[in-house]
Amino acid sequence: MDLSGMNKEQLQAVKTTEGPLLVMAGAGSGKTRVLTHRVAYLLDEKQVPSYNILAITFTNKAAREMQERVDKLINEDARKMWISTFHSMCVRILRRDIAYLGYDTSFSILDPLDQQSVVKDILKKRNLDTKQHNPRSILSVISSYKNQLIKPDQAIAEAAGFLDELYSEIYKDYQEILYRNSALDFDDLIMLTIELFEKEEAVLSYYQTRFQYIHVDEYQDTNHAQYRLVKMLAEKYRNICVVGDSDQSIYKFRGADIQNILNFERDYPEATIIKLEENYRSTKMILDAANAVIDNNTERKPKNLRSNKGEGAKIEVNVSQSEREEGHAIVAKVKALSEDYKYGDMAILYRANAQSRAIEDAFVKSSIPYKMVGGTKFYSRMEIKDLMSYLKVIQNPFDDISFERIINTPKRGIGTKTVEKLQAHAEQLNSSIYDAIRDADFLGIPQKTVVKLMSLLDVLDNLKEKSKYMSMTDLVDEVLADTGYLDMLQSDKTLEARSRLENLEEFKTVTKEFDQERPIADDNLFEFLSEMALVSDQDGVDDSSGVTMMTMHASKGLEFKVIFIVGLEEGIFPSKRVMFDDKELEEERRLMYVALTRAMDYLMLSRAESRMLYGRLENNMMSRFLSEIPEELLEKPANQSIFSNNNSSPSFKTGPKKKARIIQTNNDVDFSIGDKVSHKVFGDGIVSQIKGEGDNTELDIVFKTAGPKRLLANYAPLEKRTELDERKN
């Protein structure tokens, strides 16, 4: 096996195969290369059987890439080796042994829309308004409980206050409904795998013995449940290799815990630590900027990326009057750069999806092709949801959530009252609507409707049999024909119906890809549905022509020759909600670091002096993250200053801080840039800039609610937050 192209640190990481290993891999430092070569080294040089190796990634795309790279490096067939996401791995484990937990092995996996439907039903039964209790917010709370491995009864017992108690009770209702439907959500996949391991020692022992060499990519993104799962699996042999970067931990909102990677040595005192600091992606200018920004964080493992690509061009800065002007400036730059780069080489990154509108408007008016990541998802469209619901019911007859969607789609004259009678009977039987239909004759349902129900049941039973010997593409054709769904759309001559038919045809490109990779088998429907449920946003990112527009979060793990980062303003990025929370602010700075390090050759940083967002016009100061980049790395706009405008951009730079001494009520108070202050009228704020001296000293302050203000130091009724807090204590 050829390892000649590796640097010293990469080679050490590949050859350190025994015992715990932490590879702290900076952005663009070749971590995927190290992981794949390490796996290949175990197989080829150490003669480790492929079924003893486990590699866990965070996206299906990363798993596929790793599998393909390993296949190219070795002669042996590596298909017995598990290279998968956390969720895919847990599906395989649960498929084999979930019966120990009382679930059917043909369980369904709910998508976010199905989950919302369940919560809406619970709220309806409890006579609660969905406007007051947002189902998505409730699901976020439930997800947080599951990521912390907190069961409903524990959540209820530990609830503090009315809302906590209510949401934990809804959590209990939600889990009972899922259990009755033999359905799992994404968080259940991991939580129930852990529950299975805790309950059945023999099952845990089987996987501990099997996976003697464990690899975890993007370890900084693991939540508590994922951390616990990995720790359980690695307990026997302790040959665990985790790869990650504390500076790229940006998923706290999903439950990711940066302490997992920072405390790896505490969990494994015998661990070897290797830093990968040579970057093969970006120029020195780009990396110097990224290093300067992230150096302002305290919660990190220190490292300093160095470029393998040479100096590169300075980072261009764009200052626009408005978000519309910003959009046109970006499009003009894209056109200019298209002489040297393909459109597919370029990406525009923003903090929130709402920021994309003005840029998209500019693209629409130009002739430049573009694609957006994270827009309306193909699998969320009505006709695709209907088809998937049919497939889910065929696979798992207990799935009432899917059954209720298709029982009268297309219209069969099965009304709400009939469905309610079936639901009530199913609850009495502790069974499913599917089974309740068999007793329809005895439930006071009109005979005409009973005939229709029995006809539907026959169709579904026949499709279940067909699913065992048909390709997925053929099965989809049969479902659309046998259920009358195809007739419904073909008889409707509207443009909408034609569009829906085209989407169903497009769906068959997915099934054909699946069919090409697998021979026909009776568990293919389960495998297909599992794959569809676990598709992530990044799996849809391709390298085809067109400028990519996406959030900074979605860009993680990707790279582009040209990157535009837009909306670099205080209150936008960093966002208002984090400006007074040091930990959240550090997470935002890590997000800036991730965005910067996506760029290979060219980087433009953009801000607008005023911006219409969420229906409000805001005049925001320049982002502190832009001010943290040394000026010598930046290409200044012609006839413009980067660091000042009508709104007085802040200077949050590190190093010696300028101070202002203010005499207030006979007390000397020193104020420095970055101090948290309180104003009698404007409330809490942060000092962003200090100008002038003596009586003319002016303070620029970003207030939490009132926004940016400039105040004369001698006359402003200001006090430091720390001093106020000390007095209270």
Of 57, 175, 222, 248, catalytic: 248
- CATH topology assigned to domain 378-534: PCRA; domain 4 (1.10.486)
The superfamily CATH assigns to domain 306-375+541-635 is: P-loop containing nucleotide triphosphate hydrolases (3.40.50.300)
Name the nearest CA neighbour of 627 among 613, 640, 641: 641
177 and 402 Cβ atoms separated by less than 8 Å: no
Task: Please tell me which residue, 63 or 525, carries the higher pLDDT value.
Answer: 525
Give ∠ CA 57-62-65 in degrees, rounded to 5. Answer: 130
180 catalytically annotated: no
On whether the 108-181 domain is CATH 1.10.10.160, my answer is yes
* Confidence band, pLDDT 50/70/90 cuts, at residue 667: very low
Residue 356 has pLDDT above 80, yes or no: yes
342 among known catalytic residues: no
Distance CA 456, CA 471 (A): 22
Least confident of 137-141, 406-410, 654-658: 654-658
Residues near 144 by beta carbon (within 8 Å), at least 6 away in sequence: 255
Report yes or no: 549 and 371 within 8 Å, Cβ to Cβ: yes
- Please tell me whether 307 is known to bind a ligand: no
CATH fold for the domain made of 660-728: Thrombin, subunit H (2.40.10)
Model confidence band, residue 483 (pLDDT cutoffs 50, 70, 90): very high
Close Cβ partners of 319 (under 8 Å, ≥ 6 residues apart): 606, 607, 608, 609, 637, 640, 642, 645
Catalytically annotated residue among 114, 218, 345, 400: 218
What is the rounded CA–CA span in Å between residue 346 and residue 183? 41
| Annotated binding-site residue? 312 | no
| Secondary structure letter of residue 134 according to DSSP | -
CA 668, 672, 677 angle in degrees (round to 5)?
75
Do the bridges between strand 547-551 and strand 346-350 make them parallel or antiparallel, or are there none, so unpaired? parallel
Q: What is the pLDDT of residue 79?
A: 67
Please tell me whether residue 56 adopts helix, strand or coil conformation: strand
Averaged pLDDT for residues 690-714: 75
Look over the chain and give the mean of its residue pLDDT values, rounded to a whole number. 87
Q: Are strands 659-664 and 667-672 parallel, antiparallel or unpaired?
A: antiparallel
What is the rounded distance in angstroms from the CA atom of residue 476 to the CA atom of residue 461? 15
Q: Answer whether residue 525 shows pLDDT above 50.
A: yes
Structure tokens at 636: 């200044």
Known binding residue 28? Answer is yes
User: Of 402, 465, 459, nearest to 433 (Cα)?
Assistant: 402
Are the folds of 8-98+191-276 and 378-534 the same?
no
Strands 611-613 and 616-618 turn out to be antiparallel
As a whole number, mean pLDDT of residues 57-65 equals 85
CB atoms within 10 A of CB 528: 21
Q: Which of 204, 213, 216 is nearest to 264 (CA)?
A: 216
Q: Is residue 598 annotated as part of the catalytic site, yes or no?
A: yes
Q: Which CATH architecture has domain 8-98+191-276?
A: 3-Layer(aba) Sandwich (3.40)
pTM of the model: 0.79
**How high is the pLDDT of residue 94?**
97
Per-residue pLDDT band for 375 (boundaries 50, 70, 90) equals low
597 is annotated as contributing to ligand binding: no
Report the distance separating Cα 120 and Cα 4, nearest Å.
58
DSSP 558: -
For 420-566, list the strands marked E by DSSP: 547-551, 560-565
Q: Is position 424 annotated in a ligand binding site?
A: no
- Check if the beta carbon of residue 593 is closer than 8 Å to that of residue 556: no
Active-site entry in 16, 32, 116, 208: 32
Residue 248 annotated to the active site: yes
Catalytic-residue membership of 65: no
Q: Is the peptide bond before 574 cis (omega within 30 degrees of 0)?
A: yes
- Helices and strands, number each (H, E), in the chain: 28, 26
- Is 631 assigned a catalytic role? no
pLDDT tens string 65-87: 888 888 888 766 666 789 999 99
pLDDT tens digits for range 556-575: 989 999 999 999 999 899 98
- For residue range 30-54, list pLDDT tens digits in order: 998 999 999 999 998 999 998 999 9
pLDDT tens across 193-234, in order?
999 999 999 999 999 999 999 999 999 999 999 999 999 999
pLDDT band for position 367 (50/70/90)? confident
Spell out the domain ranges in the chain. Answer: 8-98+191-276, 108-181, 306-375+541-635, 378-534, 660-728
31 is in an annotated binding site: yes
Nearest-10 crossing angle of helices 447-466, 382-395: 80
pLDDT at 660 exceeding the cut of 50: no
Whether 650 shows a pLDDT value over 50: the answer reads: no
Neighbouring-strand partners of residue 668 = 663
Tokens of 338: 């298209």
| Active-site residue, selected from the candidate residues 371, 598, 607, 676 | 598
The answer on whether 310 is annotated among ligand-binding residues is: no
Residue 42: which residues within 8 A CB-CB, separation 6 or more?
Answer: 17, 48, 53, 213
Contact 401, 112 (CB under 8 A): no
Secondary element (H or E) of residue 341: none
Residue tagged active-site, from 217, 245, 247, 609: 217
27 is in an annotated binding site: yes
